[in-house]
Amino acid sequence: MVPRRSCCGTVIQVGTTRQGSGALPSGRIDLAEQTGIAASVHPSAYARNPLQRFLVATELDTRLLGMVGALAIIWIGFHIFSGGLFLTPRNLWNLSVQTSSVAVMVTGMVLVIVTRNIDLSVGSILGLVAMVMGVMQTDILPNQLGLGLGHPMIWVLSLAVGLLTGVAIGALQGSIIAYLRVPAFIVTLGGYLVWRGAAWWVTMGRTVAPMDPTFQLMGGGPTGSVGALWSWVVGLIACAAILVMLYVGRRQRLRFNFPLRPLWAEAALALIGCVLVIGAVWVANAYPWPVRIAANYAEANGLPVPEGGLFIAHGIAIPVLIALGVGVVMTFISTRTRFGRYVFAMGGNPEAAELAGINTRWVTVKIFMLMGALCAIAAAISSARLNAATNAMGTLDELYVIAAAVIGGTSLAGGVGTIAGALLGALVMQSLQSGMVLMGLDSPLQSIVVGIVLVFAVWLDTLYRRNKH
């Protein structure tokens, strides 16, 4: 038997007629190659064992599955060593909120690293923008512009100014990198120092608090969540979106005569996606408001309090919805727009991309502008959660963001990376930090563990790509 390669890229054995072996007679193969029929046959038809058939049919990323497995091991391990404190609705809810700011920034860091650049200033930009938004809310808008505390436009204008500040910083750094040809490492390292100093200069080291009540909703908490009912509504919308995406994807494959996934694989993907969504909503609704806050709410609204206390579910936190929304938008930008194609083309081969007519300098500037805007959104989430802007805000966030992107499969060599993988990497990093806190480990030891994990992730990425090629 001579191995031959089908048009789908799957190696098949020629000359065997055994049933159920995943191989085709040589006559059928030759006919398929001549007529092009094989283009409509999914590679899973040639798989030789159930596991391989499932992975090929569902087209799940094995690297992503490996990360999910590693995350499960981390969660179970911390749950055991923390005395059963990790896998609780309370901790998982807090974990999702704590991950939000890093998750927002890592979606932009993927595009930065894909183009073979780096941004070491994201934490400092977050701190500066948080200070600017804090000063806008506590001084400039209510006192100098006379809007008054609690004015409905305060949080809107503060957020707008923060976004403009982040975009301006990103445009400045991107222009220096793109047009002056200064390496991104040096530019953003300088930015790391400059913007951290500027954050201190804005308030001369003072902590800015409190934030606008409406602005605080972006930080989560009992009032910064959507509640049980709307959480289920969001879950149902997400499940419907999964089904629509699978249907549209199948129609597109049929339209362009691409191999169709088996119907059972489509059903499996829909089931897995919906189960994960429903499970996440159930966990969010299983975490109730604190007893005192629930009692005060009941008293203020004239609600009777049962003997066992009033159960009011948090539901999905608003910062989590923001992070997921940013992830969806960034996935669309990176995979469905001309700008996203340009980014990955630059990462794969910058010289070829420029020769192909892509304005690589302007694309680089836009990438860093987008990174600055995402830092501003993360700053809003972080300052709203703390109800204050401090000089220490964003410290070492650049480490967590870069580590999350690398753990999520973004190659430092450029050209490879996914938003979904980066979001999962952010969850892994925050899980490590949260688990170590529950175990009572000191901060220096936490930093050591994070550094080791980062180096280990880069080493695994090197091995993965070496074996792949």
Per the prediction, the chain carries an average pLDDT of 87
How far apart, in whole angstroms, are the C-alpha atoms of residue 194 and residue 189?
Answer: 9
pLDDT tens for each residue of 98-110: 999 999 999 999 9
Minimum mean pLDDT range among 36-45, 282-291, 430-439, 458-467? 36-45
pLDDT of residue 245: 94
How far apart, in whole angstroms, are the C-alpha atoms of residue 435 and residue 395?
Answer: 20
pLDDT of residue 267: 95
Q: Work out the end-to-end distance of the chain between its first and last CA atoms, rounded to an integer number of angstroms.
A: 25
**pLDDT exceeds 60 at position 213:** yes
Which is more confidently placed, 48 or 224?
Answer: 224
Across residues 19-39, what is the average pLDDT? 40
Q: Calculate the alpha carbon distances from 31 to 8, 28, 68, 243, 322 in Å.
A: 15, 5, 41, 35, 52
pLDDT tens for each residue of 125-142: 999 999 999 999 998 998
Torsion angle, alpha carbons of 458, 93, 125, 343, to 10? 50
* Inter-residue contact 416 to 409 (CB < 8 Å): yes
**Most confident of the ranges 28-42, 211-225, 437-451:** 211-225
pLDDT tens for each residue of 344-363: 999 989 899 999 999 999 99
| For helices 62-81 and 419-438, angle between their N-to-C axes, nearest 10 degrees | 10
pLDDT of residue 321: 97
For residue 109, which amino acid is it?
M
Burial class (CB in 10 A: 0-12, 13-18, 19+), 79: middle
Counting DSSP H helices and E strands in the chain, the numbers are 18, 2
What is the helix (H) or strand (E) element at residue 282, kind and residue range?
helix 263-286
* Helix, strand and coil percent figures for the chain, each rounded to 5: 70, 5, 25
pLDDT of residue 454: 78
pTM: 0.88
All structural domains of the chain with their residue ranges = 2-41, 62-222+317-468, 228-301
Give buried/exposed letters for 99-118 (b at 16+ CB in 10 A, else e).
bbbbbbbbbbbbbbbbbbbb
Minimum mean pLDDT range among 44-48, 57-61, 64-68, 190-194? 44-48
15: left (phi over 0), alpha (psi -120 to 50) or beta: left
Q: What are the residues facing 67 on neighbouring strands?
A: none
How far apart, in whole angstroms, are the C-alpha atoms of residue 2 and residue 15?
Answer: 7
**pLDDT exceeds 80 at position 309:** no
> Nearest CA to 210 among 174, 287, 165, 158?
158
Across residues 209-223, what is the average pLDDT? 91
How far apart, in whole angstroms, are the C-alpha atoms of residue 14 and residue 449?
Answer: 51
The phi, psi pair for 269, rounded to 5°, reads -65, -45
How far apart, in whole angstroms, are the C-alpha atoms of residue 399 and residue 447?
Answer: 10
Torsion angle, alpha carbons of 112, 178, 120, 210, to 10? -90
For residue 307, which amino acid is it?
E
CA angle 126, 129, 430 (to 5 degrees): 25
pLDDT of residue 64: 85
Torsion angle, alpha carbons of 196, 199, 200, 206, to 10? -140
Residue identified by tokens 């030789």 is 48
Residue 287 burial (CB count, 10 A): 18
Handedness of CA 210, 215, 218, 223 (dihedral sign): positive
The phi, psi pair for 4, rounded to 5°, reads -130, 160
Across residues 439-443, what is the average pLDDT? 85
